[in-house]
Amino acid sequence: MQVTFLGTGTSMGVPIAGGYGRELMKGDPRDERYRCSAWVQHNNKSILIDVGPEFRLQSLRSGLTEVDLLLLTHQHTDHIGGLDDLRPFNYIQKSEIPVITTPECEKSIRRRFYYMFEPEKTPGSVDLSFQPQKESYNWFGLNIVPLPVYHGEMKVYGFRINDFSYITDVNYIPEETKEKIKGSKVMVLSGLRWDPKHPTHYTIPEAVEIADELGVDQTWLVHMSVYVNHSETNKQLPSHVQLAYDQLSITVD
Ligand SMILES: [Zn+2]
């Protein structure tokens, strides 16, 4: 299984609109971050996790040409704002795109993107097929387990795909979800900034604590703010918890 980080930035991206924050970046391309998304490839199938506002640009630079399954963590715009750009994949694949997400996210998408759904469906708009809620799914020979976690008051999903667990936008993981994550070889977790604490995201020290508690071999942090410098931060982190960066590609056996 190959995992490519399509974006690793916080909700506003890095630098943010207007170019603010660029002065902090010191020329390292790893400090430029599109909104969070990941591309999982397995047996010539492509699974997309979240489809943010930069999805078109992310697909072009990474070479993503198919979306066979879409996993959505939650309904915030930085995670679903690129839904319209899935249209070419419907045309080319001549099929609807299956979606696994929370019931709340499905409801929000049906409201916000009303023109994609009956009876108001605009011809040529995206064809999505929301999958029924299940404890686990089997797609393309992969075991996919939704991981309910909390993003402030909001219940969102992370996803475990075989031994890879992806959890973004989180500041609390219930015990029963921790049990589902344990045994993963690789985990992705949000680490917004060093401090202060945030009401809806783990800080970097909190993410390190969770990584240690769960005993995952390697944890990659995402959803970093403009104040997190890639190389300086990684030097201060243990080797089993490091910042991911856009276009990083890893293999998970
Ligand atoms: Zn969010």
Report the CATH fold assignment for 2-247.
Answer: Metallo-beta-lactamase; Chain A (3.60.15)
Residue 27: pLDDT band (50, 70, 90) is confident
pLDDT digit string, tens, across residues 183-239: 999 999 999 999 999 999 999 999 999 999 999 999 999 999 999 899 999 999 999
pLDDT at 169: 94
Cis peptide before 132 (omega within 30 of 0): no
- For residues 191 and 229, what is the distance between their CA atoms, to the nearest angstrom? 12
In this structure, how many other beta carbons lie within 10 angstroms of the beta carbon of residue 230?
Answer: 22
Tell me, in angstroms, the distance from the centre of ligand 1 to residue 94's CA.
31
pLDDT at 233: 93
- For residues 132 and 102, what is the distance between their CA atoms, to the nearest angstrom? 10
Tell me, in angstroms, the distance from the centre of ligand 1 to residue 14's CA.
16
Tell me, in angstroms, the distance from the centre of ligand 1 to residue 180's CA.
22
- For residues 112 and 124, what is the distance between their CA atoms, to the nearest angstrom? 17
Average pLDDT over residues 15-39: 90
Could you give the dihedral angle defined by the CA atoms of residues 71, 76, 79 and 85, in that order, rounded to the nearest 10 degrees? 100
pLDDT at 217: 96
Measured CA to CA in angstroms, residue 156 lies from 169, 171, 198 at distances of 8, 11, 17
Q: b/e string for 10-39 if b means 16 or more Cβ within 10 A?
A: bbbbbbeeeeebeeebeeeebbbbbbbbbb
Tell me, in angstroms, the distance from the centre of ligand 1 to residue 77's CA.
8
Q: What does pLDDT average to over the chain?
A: 95
pLDDT at 111: 95
Share of residues in the chain with pLDDT > 90 (%): 90
Please tell me what DSSP assigns to residue 132: P
Residue 79: pLDDT band (50, 70, 90) is very high
Share of residues in the chain with pLDDT > 70 (%): 100
pLDDT at 23: 83
Domain chopping of the chain, boundaries: 2-247
pLDDT at 130: 97
Tell me, in angstroms, the distance from the centre of ligand 1 to residue 105's CA.
11
* Beta carbons within 8 Å of 186's beta carbon, 6+ residues apart: 3, 163, 164, 165, 216, 217, 218, 219, 220, 250, 252
Tell me, in angstroms, the distance from the centre of ligand 1 to residue 71's CA.
15
Tell me, in angstroms, the distance from the centre of ligand 1 to residue 11's CA.
7
Q: Is the pLDDT of residue 244 over 90?
A: yes
Tell me, in angstroms, the distance from the centre of ligand 1 to residue 232's CA.
26
pLDDT at 22: 84
Tell me, in angstroms, the distance from the centre of ligand 1 to residue 151's CA.
7
Tell me, in angstroms, the distance from the centre of ligand 1 to residue 157's CA.
11
Tell me, in angstroms, the distance from the centre of ligand 1 to residue 19's CA.
22
pLDDT at 132: 97
Q: Is the pLDDT of residue 253 over 90?
A: no
Q: Is the pLDDT of residue 128 over 90?
A: yes
Tell me, in angstroms, the distance from the centre of ligand 1 to residue 154's CA.
9
Q: What pTM, to 2 d.p., does this model score?
A: 0.96
